[in-house]
Structure 1
Amino acid sequence: MALDTHGGHDIDPNVLAVIPDVERVIDVSYHGESAWAKAFRINVIHTNGVEESYFMKVSVGHHGREALKGEFAATSAIFEITPDFCPKPIAWGTFKLHPDEHFYICKFYEFSEGVPEPASFCEKLARLHSSHTSPEGKFGFPCTTYNGDLPQDNTWFDSWEEFFGNGLRHILRVRQERAGPSDELDGLLPALFDKVIPRLLRPLETDGRKVIPSLVHGDLWCGNAAIIDEDTEEGIVFDPSSFWAHNEYELGNWRPERNRFTSLYFQTYHSHIPKSEPVEDYDDRNALYGLRFNLHAATLFPNHAEFLQMAVDEIRRLTEKFSAYTAKL
């Protein structure tokens, strides 16, 4: 970011232009980073004398720009439905003085350690999922959203099975581009797409059943949820990778123990939204959704072989279980 004379602090004019009614910038401080973005805290005094803090994420390049565009669009969609469940999004854009650098700004929160308590957290999540406002009732999203630096294919589909299969094929292509082929994985994919996915997802949309698209956060692991009130353990979510989906897709990211959402979170969530029919397929559907998140991790961190192995092991289990399945024509 380039030095700006407004208050003498390190802030780009395009950033200052989108923060409303700034009288003076108090300071801009580094607030951490990931492999694909840096974070800053901006403290300002508004023209009404109120001091306010904003969170700013900065990324570079084309994918950095598109990722922040997607984050703003996804957070805005969540905020429109459940404004108490995510930070208020302010803006996204490109620096005036550094055109290859891009920013996303939202309200700043002080976080406490741990995951939000399940009752309020799951009620908010269920409320988000229950607002069936997808354009024309389709599965997808108006723009690309990113899981870290991994772009998702959010092309619109009428069928959840078709949307899920298309998105998963995209993730597999990106993983192979970044990490190279895996003979073990590749050998399992025909049965995954020809047997497992139709067997587990097609019943959701046949025999009079229908999946109504729900807006999902899309990357709801413990690192993207935080406590904002120590007394109540009230929480919010952030860094979404949203699209309209089967609501249970969200819970696939809770399956790995590393994500710290215990069985109590599943139970509390389903006290608001029951498991989809056929209920007897629930655990295997969750496993199918969960293996996609392991493939996300394998793509983001190709040097960590355990993520790919977890996905391979689950695919093998499911393909063996449903090897006799023959899709109805």
Structure 2
Amino acid sequence: DHRTALCLRPQGWSGTLTADGARLLTTQKNMVLHLCLCLYSQGYKMFAAIKEALGTQRLEGTGAGGGGCISEGEVYKTDTGKVFVKRNSKKMAREMFDGEYESLKAIAATGTVKVPTPHVVVDNPAGGAVLVMEYLDMHSLNRHAGILGKQLANLHLHNINLEKTGNVVSASEVTPTYVSQFGFPVTTCCGYLPQDNSWSDDWLVFYTRKLQQQLTLIEKEYGDREARDLWSHLQLKIPQYFKDIEVKPSLLHGDLWGGNAAELSDCPVIFDPASFYGHHEFDLAITAMFGGFSRRFWDEYHSIIPKAPGFNNRHKLYKLFHNINHWNHFGSGYRSGSLQLMRDLCR
């Protein structure tokens, strides 16, 4: 009606509305109201599912939150304390969060390094999914950097030690079993790209496949001839970087850049993993790419796991994955770094 039309007039507008204009604005208002009701209904269903999974009557936003270039999150109060709700609207969000959930569980089961306890993954009726996990009062990694170096090394040795000692009960009273292959039981995502974690007995086969998956995406998006030519040469050289060493499967974080490590008042903490069982040196590649890890971190890590012969070239080979992965995520700004690593490795 005319009153509806008046309330929908732009602020400061002093003209008159025709009957058709009033009907149009009323229709638009009804559409907006319908959309709001749909979103409210979808949000209600999602929060009801979270409350049921957590066994809480209270789920109240605090206004605090955070996020990165892939997902966003917010802190909520429940009957028993705070939780962190991480959300992503992409179609593959459920697969991504299922992988992160299983990664956090696997790392926690080793009892070697603190991670947030994952609670539940819930589909979002509005699109995507959410991962609910323990809220931790985290601060930038600083005084516990050396401890994290030791704990990461112990994480990497955990599965290897299981082969020597058999099944052992960790501090969390979970009985881990030695994993003899490279891979992971579920798909995990480095960024938002799913990684092929199909089991393999051979690390070179597994890692070459991992690189090939990234370069296939580059070929589809960019058709980069130089990348294609360099890769055809590099594939033949990869075995020489593993002469005289034996690679055993270690449980890895998978994406341990500086933004995925922090500290609590009494210990370091790592989060946002994209885990799989692989060569322990792989985890060290991205730690060196963007800073955030002090000399104490490196010194303490290598005091437990010294560098093996050929480390520097393998370090480049593992950095190559992350450079190409960033090229796939963020564009050609990472092209030159990726190609330079390939040139260096092909010499």
Shorter-chain TM-score above 0.5 = yes
Residue deviations 1:151-187, cap 9 Å, x none?
Answer: 111111101111110111011112333x412222222
The equivalent residue for 1:66 is 95
SS at match of 1:168: helix
The equivalent residue for 2:59 is 25
SS at match of 2:281: helix
The equivalent residue for 2:345 is 318
Q: 1:275 to 1:79 in 2, by over 3 A?
A: same
The equivalent residue for 2:219 is 176
The equivalent residue for 1:267 is 299
Letter in 1 for 2:263: I
Deviation at 1:39, TM superposition (A): 0.8
Matched-pair contact (CA < 8 Å) for 1:10–1:28: no
The equivalent residue for 1:223 is 259
Consecutive unaligned residues in structure 2, runs of 5 or more? 1-37, 160-175
Residue deviations 1:33-62, cap 9 Å, x none?
Answer: 43432211111223xxxxx11011112343
Q: Counterparts of 1:252 and 1:84 in 2: how far apart (Å)?
A: 19
Matched-pair contact (CA < 8 Å) for 1:9–1:27: no
The equivalences for 1:88-167 within 5 A come to 88-95=117-124, 98=125, 100-115=127-142, 117-132=144-159, 136-167=179-210
State the superposition RMSD in angstroms.
2.4
Matched, 1:249 2:282: yes
Q: 1:289 to 1:189 in 2, by over 3 A?
A: same
Residue deviations 1:119-169, cap 9 Å, x none?
Answer: 210121112111116765000011111111111111111011111101110
The equivalent residue for 2:311 is 282
Deviation at 1:116, TM superposition (A): 5.8
Aligned counterpart for 1:43 among listed residues 77, 80, 83: 77
Computing the radius of gyration over CA atoms, which structure comes out larger, 1 or 2?
2
Letter in 1 for 2:264: I
Matched-pair contact (CA < 8 Å) for 2:62–2:75: yes
Letter in 2 for 1:199: Q
Deviation at 1:13, TM superposition (A): 0.9
Deviation at 1:103, TM superposition (A): 1.1
Same amino acid, percent of matched pairs: 26
Q: Counterparts of 1:116 and 1:147 in 2: how far apart (Å)?
A: 28
Query: Post-superposition, which runs of at least 4 consecutive aligned residues in structure 1 deviate over 4 A?
Result: 1-4, 8-11, 133-136
The equivalent residue for 2:10 is none
SS at match of 1:29: strand
Matched-pair contact (CA < 8 Å) for 1:192–1:315: yes
Q: 1:316 to 1:116 in 2, by over 3 A?
A: farther
Matched, 1:199 2:233: no
Letter in 1 for 2:323: N
The equivalent residue for 1:238 is 271
Consecutive unaligned residues in structure 1, runs of 5 or more? 47-51, 205-209, 321-329
Deviation at 1:293, TM superposition (A): 1.1
Q: Counterparts of 2:218 and 2:297 in 1: how far apart (Å)?
A: 30
Matched-pair contact (CA < 8 Å) for 1:3–1:12: no
Matched-pair contact (CA < 8 Å) for 2:85–2:132: yes
Letter in 2 for 1:166: R
Matched, 1:300 2:333: no
Residue deviations 1:184-242, cap 9 Å, x none?
Answer: 222211111011x11113543xxxxx32200000000000001222xx5x320000011
Matched, 1:190 2:219: no
Matched-pair contact (CA < 8 Å) for 1:118–1:264: yes
Larger helix share, 1 or 2: 2
Letter in 2 for 1:255: A
Matched-pair contact (CA < 8 Å) for 1:9–1:25: no
Deviation at 1:246, TM superposition (A): 0.7
Matched-pair contact (CA < 8 Å) for 2:46–2:122: no
